[in-house]
């Protein structure tokens, strides 16, 4: 069981603020300690099963998480008047921007 907590009723406002700051720092330190401990346990468990933790988490060689749809060909969301296609991802293509500047609605070019 935890040690008896100190009586804070008679502390000044400055003392309470200092105590709150110290408590926040202590909480952050305990969280960091627990996080590091948990990470080392997870690495040990993954290693005992013959995997690396990055391999289990789906991280690529550069440490970033790989996209689940990498390499998947997307269907066109918009089809332009000259057969141009736009999947709806990434920057808006020039052909669609120019049509919108002329007053055309993007919805007019939705693929069916």
Look at the chain and count its residues. 112
**Rounded-to-integer distance, Cα 96 and Cα 79, Å:** 9
Range list of β-strands (E), 1-112: 78-79, 85-86
List per-residue pLDDT tens for the chain, 112 residues long.
Answer: 567 888 899 999 999 999 999 999 999 999 999 999 999 999 999 999 998 888 888 776 676 776 777 778 889 999 999 999 999 989 999 999 999 999 999 999 998 8
pLDDT at 37: 97
Note the pLDDT of residue 54.
81
Check: CB of residue 78 under 8 Å from CB of residue 88: yes
Q: What residue segments make up the domains of the chain, in order of their start?
A: 13-57, 78-109
**Two tokens, residue 35:** 């996080």
State the Cα angle at 108 between 106 and 112, rounded to 5°.
110
pLDDT, position 71: 77
Read off the pTM: 0.49
């Amino acid at each position: 069981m935890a040690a008896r907590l100190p009586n804070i009723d008679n502390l000044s406002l400055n003392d309470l603020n200092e105590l709150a700051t110290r408590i926040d720092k202590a909480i952050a330190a305990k969280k960091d300690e627990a996080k590091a401990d948990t990470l080392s346990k997870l690495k040990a468990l993954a290693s005992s099963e013959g995997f690396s933790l990055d391999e289990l988490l789906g991280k690529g060689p550069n440490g970033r998480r790989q996209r689940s749809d990498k390499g998947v060909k997307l269907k066109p969301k918009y089809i332009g008047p000259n057969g141009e296609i736009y999947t709806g991802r990434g920057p808006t293509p020039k052909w669609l921007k120019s049509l919108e500047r002329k007053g055309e609605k993007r919805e007019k070019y939705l693929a069916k």
